[in-house]
Amino acid sequence: MKTLKFKTNINCGGCVSKVTPFLDKQEGIDSWKVDTNNPDKLLTVECNQITEEDVKMTLQRIGFKAESINDNE
């Protein structure tokens, strides 16, 4: 399993509820969460068979932006 991290514009509970059905239905995502308290509105995705581009495209379709964050840990 890999972890993908994104800086997003998902900035409130209403936004999270808007993206929930789309991220929940996305094949390849095991779990995800958005830290709306983080200044970067950090989206963390635990996945197996999905790419960063797939996640970005899913969010773009519903009006949100995501920018990949590379963790060098």
CATH number of the structural domain spanning residue 51:
3.30.70.100
71 phi and psi, to 5 degrees? -95, 120
Reading the chain (73 residues) residue by residue, the pLDDT tens digits are 899 999 999 999 999 999 999 999 999 999 999 999 999 999 999 999 899 999 999 999 999 999 999 754 4
- What total number of domains does the chain contain? 1
Is the separation of the CB atoms in 45 and 10 below 8 Å? no
Q: What pTM did the predictor assign?
A: 0.91
Range of the structural domain that residue 41 is part of: 2-69
